[in-house]
A and B are shown apart, each in its own frame.
Chain A
Amino acid sequence: MRRFFLVLILFFGFLYSKEIVITKYLQNKPEIIVNFQGPSQIEELLKMDFTVLDHFKVFYNDTNNSDLKNAMVFDFSYSRTNKKLIVKYIKNSNTIDIKSYKSNSFAYFPFLVHHAVYDINKFFQMPSAKFLIRKVIYSLLIAPKEANIYLSDYSLSCKKLLISGGLNIFPKWADAKQKIIYFTKMENLPVLYKFNIYTGKMTKILSTQGMLTVSDVKKGKILLTLAPHGLPDIYMYKNHKLIQITKYPGIDVDGKFWGKDSIAFISDRFGHPYVFSKNLKTGIISKVLYQGKNQVGVDTYNDKMVISTRESANAFGNNTFDLFLVNKNNESLKRLTFGGQNMNPNFSVDGNSIMFIKREHFFSKIGIIRLNENKIFYYNLPKILQSFDW
């Protein structure tokens, strides 16, 4: 009888919820007490970090709770005068460590908070939380034919203008340390530049007729979409040489390294855009997923792939694009979102999270899917991003 009610509850939960939320680690989460002194916006961000991370059961400003005697206490204090965040690690009333985080401007406090939470996660030896300290670069359309590139934290709480003037689009991190980016500037022809965010040094890499974007970067190899003869195809740029990967008289875009020997890309060779993969050893091209009316977004992390598919037949319908997770090894398929237009999926550097843009009723949100925790978090996006990378 109890099982019947459980199934019934789950069934109605499925009907009325837009995302399935399963908390796998709920029982094992370490309990911690977090005290905070300082501006309220920093406290809000701190709470958001712990919520999105979802590795702890956090009690805020709750030191007198007798049930939490053994819980570790983290005393956060932020001083606006010296722009310093201090975190005291307290165990059994003894301060066992003090960490200090400083920035040269108040506006950069999100980076300090993310670092502090990342360090606490590391202290408990919990699964990687690198997404917290990754920097995000994004391009934002500010006027027709004018887009700027900005640097931000993962929550897009602060932004720093990096490149402006004209159309600066498709920014992509060029290195693991996040010092250099690639981006396309639309001059008379599209030009690919390399830009060092530390020194401001800008180097011209390539220029061609028609189209030029960086789709993926891996160990010194770059996947590009080029159209030197008017037909967009996937190319690999390696040791200053261009290798053509696809040759099709239609549209091939968005190449991604997938597994050890394959490249995934989007092509309209079946009439509508779908995700295909090309095995670089055999040269065989095959469709990856037979799901949805078309597939417009793809990203990969090792053997994992996330695809954005249009579910409804009406191109302009309300419920259009959902995200699916595919694994190359076991051919498993997992639906990640239900409803809305979920597009531009982008794996985190550790592959444990996916950032994407959700559009609902023509408002945009940034979504973060925590794959191991089976949770999705959203925060509002004031403007529509052209593209982003983290």
Chain B
Amino acid sequence: MNKKLIFGAIGALLILTGCGTQPNLENAANANNGENASQQTVEQNATVNTQNAEVQTQTIQPENESMNNQSNNNQQFAKDVANVVVYFDFDKYNIKKSQWSKVEKLAQMLKSNNKNYTIRIEGNCDEWGTEEYNYALGLRRANSVRSALIKLGVDPKKLTVISYGKLNPVCTAHAKWCWRKNRRDNFTYLP
């Protein structure tokens, strides 16, 4: 009986690893045929398109440029959003007076960008307190800013919240100046 218990306990430690299904020769041959076939199609298409190549280039070029510009704009917007950090007092989730201007600035940024995107508000805490309470506190911090942004006219559909509790520190020193930096809301642009 004891042996059974022991082997059972040890068995629990073994994590089974599975192997991927290996292709058989028939599949491999088919796969090769498929590869040749697709190569042929590419070559045929290449021949057909040679005449229009220059025309296509001219049409595509401006589109690429506009896409690049758009992408750059999005990247800049994501950076601007990420640069906003709202800080909180110890064990508090109300927005301090000193942080209001940041929330207003963020609201202005979001309202002036009418494109389709989501902003994830991420609540964070310092290292004090238990994980579960901090997880909840981070969530309340994220929700405080979400409510404020909605009051300032931001579309609620654009906002989502998440809490990382104390699992996303920007500073790991055990000091007051460091804890202050970790009690914060971050904002992430999700296209």
Chain A positions within 8 Å of B, measured between CB atoms, are 99-104, 108, 111-112, 115, 119, 133, 135, 141, 144-145, 147, 151, 160, 162, 167, 169-170, 178-179, 186, 189-190, 197-200, 209-211, 213, 215, 225, 227, 230-232, 250-254, 266, 272-273, 296-297, 308, 315-316, 343-344, 362, 386-387
Q: B155-166 toward A: CB 8 Å interface, digit per residue (1/0)?
A: 000001111100
A211 x B131 contact (CB < 8 A): no
Residues in chain A near residue B12, CB distance under 8 A: 135, 151, 178-179, 197-198
Q: How far is the CB of A179 from chain B (nearest CB, A)?
A: 7
A197 to B91, CA, bound (A): 37
Residue of B13, B90, B132, B135 near A315 (CB, 8 A) is B90
The one of A145, A253, A316 that contacts B164, using a Cβ cutoff of 8 Å: A145
Contact of A186 among B11, B130, B162 (CB under 8 A): B162
Q: Which residue of A lies closest to B120 (CB)?
A: A188
Asked if B117 is at the interface (CB within 8 A of a chain A CB), the reply is no
Nearest Cβ in chain A — how far from B13, in angstroms? 6
The interface residues of chain A lying within 8 Å CB-to-CB of B139 are 210-211, 227, 230, 232
Chain B residues, Cβ within 8 Å of A200: 15-16
B60 interface residue (CB < 8 Å to A): no
Q: How far is the CA of A254 from the CA of B140 in the complex (A)?
A: 16
Q: State the Cβ distance, A129 to closest chain B Cβ, in Å.
A: 14
- CB of B21 to closest CB in A, whole Å: 17
B3 at the interface (CB under 8 A from A): yes
Please give the number of chain B residues whose Cβ is less than 8 angstroms from any Cβ of chain A in the complex: 41
A343-B168 Cα distance, complex, nearest whole Å: 20
Report whether B10 and A111 are in contact in the complex, using a CB–CB cutoff of 8 Å.
yes
Asked whether B133 lies within 8 Å of A251 as measured between CB atoms, the reply is yes
Taken residue by residue from 119 to 161, chain B's Cβ proximity to chain A (1 for < 8 Å, 0 otherwise) reads as 0000000001111110111011011001000000000000011
- One digit per residue, 1 when the CB lies within 8 angstroms of any chain A CB and 0 when it does not, for chain B 95-115 equals 000000000000000000000
Whether a CB of chain A sits under 8 angstroms from the CB of B5 is yes
- Give the docked Cα–Cα distance between A273 and B60 (Å): 61
Bound-complex Cα distance A160 to B164 (A): 25
Q: List the B side residues contacting A162 at CB < 8 Å.
A: 15
Is B132 touching A225 in the complex (CB atoms < 8 A)?
A: yes
How far, in Å, is B140 (CB) from chain A's closest CB? 6
Which of B5, B7, B91, B167 is in CB contact (< 8 Å) with A144? B167
The contact sample of 21 A-B pairs, CB cut-off 8 A, is A100-B3, A103-B13, A108-B13, A115-B9, A135-B12, A144-B169, A145-B167, A151-B12, A186-B162, A200-B15, A210-B162, A211-B139, A232-B136, A232-B139, A273-B129, A296-B133, A315-B90, A316-B179, A344-B131, A386-B131, A387-B132
Q: How far is the CA of A231 from the CA of B131 in the complex (A)?
A: 17
Q: Are A315 and B91 in contact (CB under 8 A)?
A: yes
Q: For B137, list chain A residues within 8 Å (CB).
A: 251
A115 neighbours in B (Cβ, 8 Å): 2, 5-6, 9
Is the pair B167, A167 in contact by a Cβ cutoff of 8 Å? yes
- In this complex, the member of A111, A144, A211 whose beta carbon has the largest number of chain B beta carbons within 10 angstroms is A211
Instruction: Give the CA-CA distance A93 to B22 in the complex, in Å.
Output: 60
Q: A167, A315, A362: which contacts B174 (Cβ < 8 A)?
A: A362
Since A144-B167, A144-B168, A386-B131 are in contact, a sample of 16 more A-B pairs with Cβ atoms closer than 8 Å, ordered by chain A residue number, is A133-B5, A133-B9, A135-B12, A169-B167, A186-B164, A200-B15, A209-B160, A210-B139, A210-B142, A225-B132, A253-B136, A266-B130, A272-B91, A308-B130, A316-B179, A387-B131
A211 to chain B, nearest CB (A): 5
Residue of A nearest to B143 (CB): A230
Q: How far is the CA of A301 from the CA of B123 in the complex (A)?
A: 32
Partner of B10, one of A108, A189, A387: A108
